[in-house]
Amino acid sequence: MIATSKKLKTSATAQAKLQQTKLQQDKLQQAKLQQAKLQLEKLPHAKAPIWTFFSNHAHVLICLSMNNKLVLREIALSVGITERAVQKIIAQLAGEGFIKRKRIGRNNKYTLLLNKPLRHAIERHKTIGDVVKLLQS
């Protein structure tokens, strides 16, 4: 009976320590999340308007037209979206033939196919090059 009582106390102590450790981990994770939110608020895109005239796809194209050797992280920070979202957009743009990707070592170099017409029926009479030229002038 004494052995059972000791086991229960040991088990209760272990559970208490486990709960305390979990609480500390939760607090640490919340602190890191709060710090990340504060850093995000300091970025220029954090105060961006709710909507814009151009889509994220257009923003990515515009970034690549300014510097075709940007890495995903730099594009993501400029546009105000995640690296994963940039990765998906670049895959879509390459898949639809709007850009070509060339691997150079560990990096990519992107070529915009400026003669490619825009996709929407209202915009088909214009090309990617027209949009890029408009925004760079």
Tens of pLDDT, residues 83-101: 999 999 999 999 999 999 9
Asked if residue 115 and residue 94 are part of one domain, the reply reads yes
Report d(CA 57, CA 63) in Å as an integer.
10
Expressed as residue numbers, the domain containing 18 is 2-42
Asked if residue 93 and residue 129 are part of one domain, the reply reads yes
The answer for residues whose C-beta is within 8 angstroms of residue 120's C-beta and 6 or more apart is: none
The residue ranking higher by pLDDT, 96 or 35, is: 96
Nearest partner of 68 among 5, 132, 123, 3, judged by Cα: 132
pLDDT surpassing 90 at residue 4: no
Asked if residue 61 and residue 125 are part of one domain, the reply reads yes
Contact 104, 123 (CB under 8 A): no
Please provide the average confidence, as pLDDT, over all residues in the chain. 83
The end-to-end CA distance of the chain, in Å, is 87
Tokens of 8: 């229960």
Residue 47 lies in a domain: no
pTM score, two decimals? 0.63
Instruction: Work out the pLDDT band at 42, boundaries 50, 70, 90.
Output: low
Instruction: Work out the pLDDT band at 43, boundaries 50, 70, 90.
Output: low
